[in-house]
Amino acid sequence: MDIKSVIRTIPDYPKPGVMFRDITTLLNDAQGFRSAVDALVLPHAGTKIDKVAGIEARGFILGGAVAHQLSVSFIPVRKKGKLPWKTHAQEYALEYGTDVVEIHVDAIEPGEKILLIDDLIATGGTAEASIKLIERAGGQVAACSFVIDLPDLGGRARLEALGKSVISLCQFEGG
């Protein structure tokens, strides 16, 4: 299935000049959703993955499904203040200011191999912060997988510069 064909593009959202890549149409297409999850799982079949970490919020949907298929547990990577217990936190830069992602302190055992999942890689800031967070908690990021790559924004190159394997199911040119 051509996953790219079931992703909606919304021009000028959330601001003028941005082409928003909306995966809700993919999630709403049973065959498309299944194909995307299968394609995210396939590169890791037969490899050692202990847990899947999904970045808030669409990474929860995809990561949960991937974790289920791999028969491993799931780690939510959340925005600051959303998790109810003790957390590890990692700050990262935004266009105007900073943000923070967190995981529970007991989410990862030292040495566990973690597959990081999100819907889209753009600049790579949130993914890089998630990698640093996972590694600080003692995990090893085995790979980073995304449905969409926006290569013009440099996120893939940013993560590969950290020595991480990056997999995407489709690419859209531009931002």
Per the annotation, the verdict on 8 as an active-site residue is no
State whether residue 97 is helix, strand or coil: strand
Determine which one of 21, 56, 78, 95 is catalytic: 95
Q: Give the Cα separation of 118 and 97 in Å (integer).
A: 22
Per the annotation, the verdict on 95 as an active-site residue is yes
48-73: b (≥16 Cβ within 10 Å) or e: ebbbbbbbbebbbbbbbbbbebbebe
Determine which one of 58, 102, 128, 156 is catalytic: 58
Active site residues: 58, 95
